[in-house]
């Protein structure tokens, strides 16, 4: 592989921006210094004072393949990721077929290996397939879930009894359970009460804050019984944050590491229930849009460390699928390409410190899901050269016209993001204003339970 020298750039080091040069050799970060002297370099990049930052890791995407390629596939999804500065994704199981056994896992792995331009992990699904979990772990699953505590896209929700057993099995494997926490009883009751309310806002009322917080509390109680490593997906309410914060504080007081982490999603950070008037059924997702009070609580929770990472929950549907009444429109919005640009624009708007954005979009997801073992997540010599070059002054209005998902639309239209000028994955430039990578260059990042004899 060729080596690359990035000159005239700034990096975030020791909690501040400072001038530096970055040498990439054989796909790795070889050297970071103020002045790098080298006799030969295959390519020199003059960054013109742009920032060189760690590329993003999106720990929650639904690339829809196999089975739903009209919505997205591994090529279009990964190209969208690259254009937004994401070089690693973790795909969740609710495809068709769902990723719940060896055959379905290998099918998804084969398709991703042929098509993805970014590196990827694959989560194993959890239904009542308890006999399959150990095999999925041996095949290299990154984690397990989303485990759906309530009905959502893909209809993979399970009973409380099955959820309890799943936590026990996942504990034995020393894996991580990724949990979609909404209470099914509350959802069903509200669905009945609101069956004649066709306003878009009814979706938020059908899955109110208590729907999430009740499920989080139930899950926390079960997690405590087994001490299972657990991760809550797309937490969206102040009440749920309070429960998670208390659990983390309890672990701190007991001088132990908390077994619970959580993520928030950009649609819960940059949209609110005030967005229903503009988005209509295009704003439907689970958990639903929340009040501005919850939005502010999430921003605060990121900055004070209760929220460990931000992940897109990229769940694309085509426009014609979303353009129907609120009851029948599918849940989910695209977001992998806008995740990092929105967060970087949040730095510009003083919502988040730059160091915190790097933590929640790169360092923390790598640490939580074992990707550090694959040399991901750290801007450090010896780690993969997964980098972006960005000009923090280059705020761009988000429009579906230049995005790459098959969805063909975005809920963030009219908001602003800071998009990368270059995206580098393992030393390869995969985005420079257009996709420059070949299909299938993405590597499968084997999970921590992987056994060599599975190949």
The position carrying tokens 């639903």 is 288
Q: Could you confirm whether 313 is annotated as catalytic?
A: yes
What pairs with residue 148 in β-bridges?
A: 180
Position of tokens 């069956």? Answer: 195
The answer to whether 52 touches 9, Cβ cutoff 8 Å, is yes
Buried b (16+ CB within 10 A) or exposed e, 200-234: bbbbbebbbbebbbbbbbbbbebbeebebbbbbbb
Q: Catalytic: which of 101, 313, 384, 386? A: 313
Contact 63, 91 (CB under 8 A): yes
Helix axes 238-253, 209-226, angle to 10 degrees: 20
DSSP letters, 395-423, are EEE--GGG--STT---TTTT-EEE--SEE
Q: What does the alpha-carbon distance between residue 46 and residue 53 come to, in Å, rounded to a whole number?
A: 15
Phi/psi for 29 (5° steps) reads -75, 110
Residues designated as active site: 313
């Amino acid at each position: 592989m060729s080596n690359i020298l990035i000159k005239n750039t700034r990096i975030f080091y020791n909690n501040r921006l400072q001038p530096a040069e970055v040498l990439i050799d054989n796909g790795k970060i070889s050297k970071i210094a103020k002045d790098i002297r080298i006799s030969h370099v295959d390519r020199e990049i003059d960054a013109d004072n742009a920032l060189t930052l760690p590329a993003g890791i999106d720990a929650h995407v639904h690339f829809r393949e196999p089975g739903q390629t009209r919505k997205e596939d591994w090529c279009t999804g990964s190209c969208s990721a690259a254009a937004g500065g994401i070089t690693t994704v973790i795909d969740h199981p609710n495809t068709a077929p769902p990723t719940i056994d060896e055959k379905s896992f290998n099918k998804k792995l084969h398709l991703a290996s042929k098509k993805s331009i970014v590196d990827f992990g694959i989560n194993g699904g959890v239904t009542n397939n308890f006999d399959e979990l150990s095999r999925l772990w041996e095949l290299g699953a990154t984690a397990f879930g989303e485990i759906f505590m309530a009905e959502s896209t893909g209809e993979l929700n399970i009973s409380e009894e099955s959820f309890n057993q799943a936590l026990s099995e996942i504990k034995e494997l020393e894996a991580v359970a990724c949990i979609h926490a909404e209470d099914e009883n509350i959802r069903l009751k509200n669905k009945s009460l609101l069956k004649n309310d066709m306003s878009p806002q009814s979706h938020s009322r059908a899955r109110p804050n208590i729907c999430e917080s009740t499920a989080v509390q139930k899950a926390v109680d079960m997690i405590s019984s087994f001490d299972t490593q657990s991760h809550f997906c797309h937490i969206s309410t102040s009440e749920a944050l309070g429960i998670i914060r208390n659990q983390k504080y309890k672990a701190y007081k007991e001088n132990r590491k908390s077994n619970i982490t959580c993520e928030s999603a950009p649609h819960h950070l940059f949209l609110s229930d005030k967005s229903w008037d503009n988005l209509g059924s295009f704003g439907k997702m689970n958990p639903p849009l929340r009040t501005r009070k919850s939005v502010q609580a999430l921003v605060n929770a990121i900055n004070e460390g209760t929220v460990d990472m931000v992940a897109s929950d990229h769940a694309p549907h085509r426009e014609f699928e979303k353009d129907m009444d609120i009851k029948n429109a599918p849940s989910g919005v695209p977001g992998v390409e806008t995740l990092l640009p929105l967060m970087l624009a949040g730095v510009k708007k003083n919502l988040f410190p730059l160091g915190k954005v790097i933590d929640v979009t790169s360092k923390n997801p790598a640490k939580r899901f074992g990707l550090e073992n694959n040399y991901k997540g750290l801007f450090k010599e010896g780690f993969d050269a997964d980098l972006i070059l960005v000009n923090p002054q280059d705020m761009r209005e988000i429009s579906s016209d230049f995005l790459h998902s098959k969805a063909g639309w975005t809920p963030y239209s009219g908001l602003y993001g800071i998009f990368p000028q270059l995206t580098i994955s393992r030393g390869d430039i995969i985005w420079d204003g257009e996709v420059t990578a070949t299909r299938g260059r993405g590597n499968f990042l084997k999970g921590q339970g992987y056994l060599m004899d599975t190949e």
